[in-house]
Structure 1
Amino acid sequence: MQPAGVAPLKVDIAEKTFRSAEGVMIDVLRGLSFEVRQGEFACLLGPSGCGKTTTLRILMGLDRDFSGRYQLPEGSSKRIAAVFQEPVLLPWRTVEQNVRLALSPRFRGKDLDSLFEILGLSAMRSFYPSELSLGLARRAALARAFATEPSVLFLDEPFASLDERTADRLRRLLISVWAARPTTVLMVTHNLREALLLADRIIVLTPSPAQVLGVFDLRLSREFRDTQALDDLILDFHKRFPIPV
């Protein structure tokens, strides 16, 4: 249940269009409406090219050319954080320096020991990005996002292009750090198993122009979402949403 007086993330995008190279207007989003409750981990799931990343760009204020409105959640801070497919670390700064640069000047000396420990980065704090594997670089990007204690965190397929073993380890690290530093999360993915492992709710989108096809609630505690449970959840999901996503 949503706590009284706490505003959720509310999205009501009436229309978003692009002009193609040939000058043709293409509908990307039309009538896209959903909410993410305070402290909830929600996934946007839909086919490639349906407008998931465009939605995140609008919510992050990177794209203002749309019709509609949105409301960010009201947390202890009004900060937002984002993790993208590429870690985007400054190559001339160490891991710790990259993380601390995201903090406001008066908080740059804050204790980050527990955050680095949860993400397995304690021994890499003085490493430079060139010394990190892609998996470790993405851990650093997660550390930078959570260090700011944002009121909402946007994730745009942060485990794309990783081998499945590394991606699964990072998914579980993400849940560990989120449990220790809870915030509202909206994650874009086209990986159903990933969404079923991580989310409280999955918001399923139609092909472009994207609308909400439906919502899949996950009531099974994450600690019980083992391989068999995920297989069963996939079957349940496809019974409700028979079209490919």
Structure 2
Amino acid sequence: MNDMQPAGVAPLKVDIAEKTFRSAEGVMIDVLRGLSFEVRQGEFACLLGPSGCGKTTTLRILLGLDRQFSGSYQLPEDGSNRVAAVFQEPVLLPWRTVEQNVRLALAPRLRDKDLDWLFDVLGLSAMRSLYPSELSLGLARRAALARAFATEPSVLFLDEPFASLDERTADRLRRLLATVWEARPTTVLMVTHNLREALLLADRIIVLTPRPAQVHGIFDVRLSRDLRDAPAVDDLLLDFHQRFPDTV
């Protein structure tokens, strides 16, 4: 049964009893079973787990892209009722400029909204009139982040948005993401298998088991983001591995 409860003032609530796939050979594969967690309003949470455990499947369910599951979920609401997502691929329209791509995500009455601050903080001010083919992958992902934040969503889903980038570029984008989010907080659920990334960005890390995924435990990151330099993240790594010794 698929039951999406009405949105309310409650946090993001997930209670997926079962999600299965049928393989090409006709074998039923359990992906999620008994997956239950909450993300508080205005919280930045990360779903951390091994590759193939069902993290992206969970996001697809919450985005309404996969309705073949048993269980329920409830999305938060802060008055806007908007949901935004950033995927591994930027998914920009190639015949539109950066600015046009961002503004297309806005409601018609907001198409003339002032986006100067957002473009500036993401380092896109000089790129607004460029087309996606003229951008590096890192810049294209900045444009995808700008498009998501421009809508001022109630909840933002991120599916490994910095995957396949070199570490220097990825780290720069993580810090830009943190800057934009802290200026305009919204409820965030981000999928990652990069523990350092989760420790740098998250308020809480929801640790998943191998498939079929369920919650293995919760790791609260209580250190202020502006104090999460490399030595501090190393200390957090030690704390995490003491709590979850079998997690890579």
TMscore range, shorter length = over 0.9
Shift, 1:6, TM fit = 3.3
| Aligned mates of 1:207, 1:240 — CA distance in 2 | 17
Shift, 1:46, TM fit = 0.2
Give aligned-pair identity as a percent. 88
Structure 1 portions without partners, runs of 5+: none
Aligned to 2:198: 195
Task: Please state whether the residue corresponding to 2:133 is helix, strand or coil.
Answer: helix
Aligned to 1:102: 105
| Aligned mates of 1:134, 1:231 — CA distance in 2 | 28
| Aligned mates of 2:247, 2:222 — CA distance in 1 | 23
| Aligned mates of 2:34, 2:247 — CA distance in 1 | 21
Shift, 1:184, TM fit = 0.2
Aligned to 2:188: 185
| Aligned mates of 1:244, 1:179 — CA distance in 2 | 28
2:79 to 76, 81, 85: 76
Kindly provide the CA deviation profile for residues 172-224 of structure 1, in whole angstroms up to 9, marking residues without a partner as x.
00001111111000000000000000000000000000000000001100111
Kindly provide the CA deviation profile for residues 59-101 of structure 1, in whole angstroms up to 9, marking residues without a partner as x.
0000000000000001121110000000000011000000000
Which amino acid is 1:216 matched to? F
Aligned to 1:91: 94
Task: Please state whether the residue corresponding to 1:193 is helix, strand or coil.
Answer: helix
TM-score between the two structures when normalised by the length of structure 2: 0.96
2:69 to 66, 73, 78: 66
Aligned to 1:17: 20
| Aligned mates of 2:151, 2:9 — CA distance in 1 | 20
Kindly provide the CA deviation profile for residues 225-245 of structure 1, in whole angstroms up to 9, marking residues without a partner as x.
111111111011000001134
| Aligned mates of 2:237, 2:46 — CA distance in 1 | 15
1:121 to 120, 124, 127: 124
In the TM superposition, 1:34-49 aligns within 5 A as 34-49=37-52
| Aligned mates of 1:173, 1:192 — CA distance in 2 | 18
Which amino acid is 1:207 matched to? P
Runs of 4+ aligned structure 1 residues displaced above 3 Å come to none
| Aligned mates of 1:39, 1:244 — CA distance in 2 | 27
In the TM superposition, 1:163-242 aligns within 5 A as 163-242=166-245
User: How many residues are treated as equivalent by the alignment?
Assistant: 241
Aligned to 1:27: 30
TM-score between the two structures when normalised by the length of structure 1: 0.97
| Aligned mates of 2:150, 2:172 — CA distance in 1 | 20
| Aligned mates of 2:183, 2:79 — CA distance in 1 | 16
Aligned to 2:142: 139
What do you get for the CA RMSD once the two structures are aligned? 0.8
Aligned to 2:59: 56
| Aligned mates of 1:88, 1:74 — CA distance in 2 | 26
| Aligned mates of 1:244, 1:31 — CA distance in 2 | 20
